[in-house]
Amino acid sequence: MQYKILASDYDNTLVPFGESQPRPAMVKAVKKLQAAGGKFVLSTGRSWPAINRKGQLGGIRFDYAITCNGACVVDKNGAIVAEHPMTNEEMYALVDFCEDYNYPLQFDFKDAYYAYCEYDILHKYYEQMNSVGLDCVDGEDQDRHLIDMPHAAFCIFPEGALERFHEKYGHLGLHFMQVGGQLPDGSHFYDIVRGGIDKGAGLADLCEKMGLSLAEAVATGDSANDVGMLKAAGLGCCMSNGTDEAKAAADRVIGDVREDGLAALIEELWFDGPKAEPSDRSFGSAWETMER
């Protein structure tokens, strides 16, 4: 069948982590897809403020964006198409827990990332990552949610902390997704959304609004937060640099982000090009910048 939309993860699917924008081959492929009538959907754990910087996508203009891991879907201008913001109870549980143990915690609002706990630590990490659009503002006054509620959260937990959170607040059913690499001390990065929400739910919301079926969508990703989308789409493709969990959820594996694997997939599916398959080359960890 002819697929109608391509939903692509951002980091390490469309753009190698730490690089400032998509590579020329990716830009060319996406523009070619759109010229042929296909719709390009950016699907990311990032919020709208972290993807709308001028020139950030190197000339690519997405038609829609699934942001905050499916909790907020927007059009190309940032107008909300569908949303699932956190509740007060969910947000306060995260704040209370992270304050008790001094764990870094940020919330993803419509205008920016607000660090509610340990701003200095989070800001330092963003500076080290040097990835376009990623930074936070000091929200330790903890009053931004009085305007509207966040769509998602992000935290850094050491080993065992997630289990302790679930022991106390498991009844809330929050969805934690491990993203990125592991820090030298064993800590992990987690994106957090409401229970039942993931990029797959965001893709379903968007397809419903567009009058399409999920079978008409292709999804590409590399990490745990892409699993729902890879399973939901008519065709789910994991990058060869992806995690074992993402590969298991996908219908097939394509080339590494650093060999323009997604560009090859577009050529195959929309323009009858050769089958997009991973090469035998080893590129090392895709999250090397973060892990350092």
CATH of the domain at 172: 3.30.1240.10
Greater model confidence, 241 or 129: 241
Residue 236 lies in a domain: yes
> How sure is the predictor about 292, in pLDDT bands with cuts at 50, 70 and 90?
low
Q: What is the mean pLDDT of residues 177-189?
A: 86
Residue 290 lies in a domain: no
Domain of 255 in residue numbering reads as 5-83+197-271
The three-point CA angle 226-79-93 to 5° equals 55
152 and 211 assigned to the same domain = no
Give percent of the chain with pLDDT exceeding 70.
98
> How sure is the predictor about 19, in pLDDT bands with cuts at 50, 70 and 90?
confident
Greater model confidence, 251 or 54: 251
Quickly list H helices, the chain: 24-35, 88-101, 119-129, 161-169, 199-210, 227-232, 244-249, 261-271, 288-291
As a whole number of angstroms, the distance between CA 158 and CA 135 comes to 21
> How sure is the predictor about 17, in pLDDT bands with cuts at 50, 70 and 90?
confident
Residue 100 lies in a domain: yes
As a whole number of angstroms, the distance between CA 237 and CA 233 comes to 9
User: Which of 237, 217, 213 lies closest to 227, judged by CA?
Assistant: 237
Distance of CA 205 to the CA centre of its chain: 16
265 and 207 assigned to the same domain = yes
Q: What is the mean pLDDT of residues 147-158?
A: 97
CATH value at residue 35: 3.40.50.1000
Q: Could you tell me whether strands 39-43 and 5-8 are parallel, antiparallel, or unpaired per DSSP bridges?
A: parallel
Around Cβ 272, how many Cβ atoms within 10 Å? 7
208 and 184 assigned to the same domain = no
In one letter, which amino acid is 200? G
Of the residues 158, 193, 228, which one is the last residue of a structural domain? 193
63 and 122 assigned to the same domain = no
- The total number of structural domains that make up the chain: 2
Give percent of the chain with pLDDT exceeding 90.
84
Greater model confidence, 126 or 237: 237
In this structure, what token pair is assigned to residue 28? 């060319």
54 and 146 assigned to the same domain = no
pLDDT of residue 89: 98
pLDDT of residue 291: 58
In this structure, what token pair is assigned to residue 50? 């972290």
pLDDT of residue 117: 98
Of the residues 193, 210, 227, which one is the last residue of a structural domain? 193
Average pLDDT score over the chain: 94
pLDDT of residue 136: 96
185 and 220 assigned to the same domain = no
Indicate whether 290 pLDDT > 70: no
Residue 281 lies in a domain: no
In one letter, which amino acid is 71? A
Of the residues 193, 227, 249, which one is the last residue of a structural domain? 193
Residue 291 lies in a domain: no
Q: What is the mean pLDDT of residues 218-231?
A: 96
pLDDT of residue 18: 80
Residue 232 lies in a domain: yes
> How sure is the predictor about 282, in pLDDT bands with cuts at 50, 70 and 90?
confident
